[in-house]
Amino acid sequence: MALQTKIYRGYSSFEFQRIKSLEINDIELVKLDLLNHIFTIRGSRVMMPTFGSIIPELAFEPLDEFTIDETYSELLDIFNFDPRVEIINLTVVPDFKTNSLFVVAKLNYIELNTVDDLELNIQFEG
């Protein structure tokens, strides 16, 4: 049996209680990096004024066609920004009863030669 090499290695306390380790690897690390990019307010990173997205700010807007389109566009930009992933399909489905968007991004993790879904639920206040 061949030893599987970890291409991406990092550390996070985010899932420590569940996995009992600070080390995260490969797909989980890339997903966490993508989520950090999505939920970082654009302009809030020192020396990186274009990093982040407007999605955290959109969460205070009414859930309408404009907000849905802007969220979709921001997500496309973020997935296209990261050279480790290639977007296969992006679905953004509004749920007006719960005032939220359900997002499923089917991503090809290029160097890992793996396709996996990144799912998230974005809750809106308005």
pLDDT digits 0-9 by tens, 39-57: 999 999 899 999 999 999 9
Mean pLDDT of the chain: 87
Q: How far is CA 6 from CA 28, 74, 86, 94, 111, in A?
A: 11, 30, 19, 36, 11
Given a cut of 70, whether residue 8 has pLDDT beyond it is no
Mean pLDDT, residues 63-82: 96
Phi and psi at residue 125, to the nearest 5°: -85, -40
Q: How confident is the model at residue 2 (pLDDT cuts 50, 70, 90)?
A: very low
Task: State the pTM of this model.
Answer: 0.83
Domains of the chain in start order, with CATH, are 9-123 (3.10.450.40)
- Between strands 23-25 and 9-11, the pairing is antiparallel
Q: CA-to-CA distance for 7 and 114, rounded, in angstroms?
A: 12
63 closest CA partner among 20, 89, 92: 92
H or E segment and range at residue 78: helix 65-81
pLDDT for residue 5: 60
